[in-house]
Structure 1
Amino acid sequence: MAPSKKLNWHTTALHAVQGANLAGKTSLVTGGNSGLGVETVKALATAGSRVVLTSRSVEAGNKVAEQLRAEGVKGQIKVMQLDLADLASVKKFSKAYLAEERGPDLLILNAGVMACPQSYTKDGFEMQIGTNHFGHFALTQQLLPSMKALRRPARIVVVSSRAHEMGSIDIQDLHYRHRRYTAWGAYGQSKLANILFAKQLAKNLEGTNVKAFSLHPGVINTPLTRHVYGTGFAGWAVQNLVSIVGYPWLKSPAQGAATSITAAVSPDLESHSGVYLHDSQIKVPTKAAQDMDMAAELWKETERELAEAEKKLTS
């Protein structure tokens, strides 16, 4: 059974989490210090979950935690440093997390970068696929054994985007070392990789307690768009103009986070692992996002490149 038709474009994260009792559960939200992440953390904590908020900046994460407490959110929020563009940081985080925690019950892969100028992570991956896909892939692999060991229902939620529709996977040149770089092409590739990762992950996890989902949150004016509008006063002016002109079709961060929350808590999705969601409903992504041969190939290549990067870290 699909999620209730009452959940739609207008649904907010707090609405989507109504009826869910997350007491005694732990949720981990990457990029929980900004935009959709803040609203995701707020909804999960409101439902009783203990939430681990990860951020590149602990200071920024602490400000959000303090803000939510000031708003009356009573759930426990723990801030931990994590930079998905640095595999050493991912490894350090996972080690610190697993030394004190179990699971998590809910792993929300929310952090990301969008349409940035060509650049590379500390490990030599193109920044967008390196952060959005490789960093989250590595984090998931390191936490997955603990999630399985919970022996109770657990979920992995991958925030993708409708931008996957303009993406294609070049398995021979994932990092734009030979083809011409375009910011949106690289973003589209990374978001397509997110969906293929979730689908292959769901397949790999068949018969276990862990389910996986991907989603498009909607078009939202958040700090993620900083590279789209530019910097300085001109960028600020354009961003505010877009907010005004685009009001009828732009979601608020609270509305954008609703689909992440639906994927995390809806009981109707328990038998639908691997599906893609939009507006809190199951949707069909592009043909490329349903290519399980490519999903398997991307998985294999990701594992290979991460293994090579790991060797460099330990050498």
Structure 2
Amino acid sequence: MAPPKQPSWYTTALEAVHGTNLTGKTSLVTGGNSGIGVETVKALATSGSRVVLTSRSVEAGVKVAEQLKAEGVKGQIKVMQLDLADLASVNKFSKAYKAEECGPDLLILNAGVMACPQTYTKDGFEMQIGTNHFGHFALTKELLPSMKALGTPARIVVVSSMAHEMGAIDLQDLHYRHRAYSSWGAYGQSKLANILFAKQLAKDLEGTNIKAYSLHPGIINTPLTKHVYGGGYLGAAVKTAVGIIGYPWLKSPAQGAATSITAAVSPDLESHSGVYLHDSQIKKPARAAEDMDMAAELWKETERQLADAEKKLSS
């Protein structure tokens, strides 16, 4: 199977990883049990990487690992439980991972929730920024020392969204305690936070073995969209129609995972840490996503709130 000469909207994850040998490498994919996460795991394992697939449900993760094995994917896939909406789970996972594993060489922050009703994580964070940003931030901070200890090139890939363009960071009310809740506004804020996190991470990691990237995977009809169609008979009808008819702008999960894979393995990106990708190409994000003063302030505020939450866990 020959890859396209130039990565594009149509590129699949397997095409993006074509010719890459990841034997001896360890990859960690959050939310690897669903949507583009499955295709990300598949592409990495196909290229020889040992993949740690994290999932809220171990059963769901094991089902995917068995399915990929049945499809002929020969790479080793290990399933571990991780709930990014629960800092206790993040801490438990991190300890277990570091006790058994090195690195990882590739950390793919793929899991997320989208446009959900106003709910909160176990630690009191608004669900979308709590899962998409705070959970991944805490996980990354825990794994950075072991990634640095590898001494060989490593990458962190943050799956954001073009929805960051409609987001705005409110440092005084990240969790919608005092402003009217908007499911899409909260999602946009969380995806903007993803890009700012990746850019600040890239800046802080200059001179180390680790590079960081963020990306928009495309618009994909996956379980992530479960809150988009709404409930009841109308929501079910719309979802069924999309499944049968489709939309020309909807990517398949395999196409959606291609940009994550490009960010993880493309040698062309080695000297471009911190960039944002769209359709496997470097693109400029919204102006708000290039505000490095906000990136630094968001980093500080995230660390402060995580520290407060950790204190409550230990008390």
Normalised-by-shorter TM-score class: over 0.9
Q: Give runs of aligned pairs for residues 212-227 of structure 1, distance below 5 A.
A: 212-227=212-227
Instruction: Output the amino acid matched with 1:264.
Output: A
Q: Which residue of 1 aligns with 2:98?
A: 98
Q: Give runs of aligned pairs for residues 1-315 of structure 1, distance below 5 A.
A: 6-231=6-231, 233-315=233-315
Q: Partners of 1:170 and 1:68 in 2: how far apart? A: 41
Q: Partners of 2:230 and 2:38 in 1: how far apart? A: 23
SS at match of 1:117: coil
Instruction: Output the amino acid matched with 1:239.
Output: K
Instruction: Output the amino acid matched with 2:83.
Output: D
SS at match of 2:80: strand
Q: Partners of 1:283 and 1:246 in 2: how far apart? A: 26
Could you tell me how far 1:247 is from its partner in structure 2? 2.4
Percent identical pairs in the alignment equals 85
Q: Residues 178-202 of structure 1, C-alpha deviation per residue, up to 9 Å, x if partnerless?
A: 0000000000000000000000000
SS at match of 2:108: strand
Instruction: Output the amino acid matched with 1:187.
Output: Y
Instruction: Output the amino acid matched with 1:219.
Output: I
CA contact (8 A) 1:243 1:250 kept: no
Could you tell me how far 1:296 is from its partner in structure 2? 0.2
Q: 1:5 to 1:300 in 2, by over 3 A?
A: farther
CA contact (8 A) 1:53 1:80 kept: yes
Instruction: Output the amino acid matched with 1:172.
Output: Q
Could you tell me how far 1:246 is from its partner in structure 2? 4.4
Could you tell me how far 1:56 is from its partner in structure 2? 0.2
Q: Partners of 1:53 and 1:160 in 2: how far apart? A: 19
Unaligned residue ranges in structure 1 (runs of 5+):
none
TM-score for the superposition, normalised by structure 1: 0.97
Instruction: Output the amino acid matched with 1:94.
Output: S
CA contact (8 A) 1:169 1:189 kept: yes
Q: 1:72 to 1:214 in 2, by over 3 A?
A: same
Q: How many residues align?
A: 312
Q: Partners of 1:233 and 1:117 in 2: how far apart? A: 18
Q: Partners of 1:210 and 1:232 in 2: how far apart? A: 46
Could you tell me how far 1:248 is from its partner in structure 2? 1.1
Q: Partners of 1:271 and 1:236 in 2: how far apart? A: 46
Unaligned residue ranges in structure 2 (runs of 5+):
none
Q: 1:232 to 1:74 in 2, by over 3 A?
A: farther
Q: Residues 212-255 of structure 1, C-alpha deviation per residue, up to 9 Å, x if partnerless?
A: 00000000000000011134554332112234554211000000
Q: 1:233 to 1:64 in 2, by over 3 A?
A: farther
SS at match of 1:229: coil
SS at match of 2:211: strand
TM-score for the superposition, normalised by structure 2: 0.97
Instruction: Output the amino acid matched with 1:200.
Output: Q
SS at match of 2:175: coil
Q: Partners of 1:124 and 1:314 in 2: how far apart? A: 15
Instruction: Output the amino acid matched with 1:97.
Output: Y
Q: Partners of 2:209 and 2:266 in 1: how far apart? A: 15
Q: Partners of 1:64 and 1:231 in 2: how far apart? A: 27
Q: Residues 134-155 of structure 1, C-alpha deviation per residue, up to 9 Å, x if partnerless?
A: 0000000000000000000000
Q: Partners of 2:256 and 2:240 in 1: how far apart? A: 18
Q: Residues 265-294 of structure 1, C-alpha deviation per residue, up to 9 Å, x if partnerless?
A: 000000000000000000000000000000
SS at match of 1:239: helix
Q: Residues 44-67 of structure 1, C-alpha deviation per residue, up to 9 Å, x if partnerless?
A: 000000000000000000000000
Instruction: Output the amino acid matched with 2:190.
Output: S
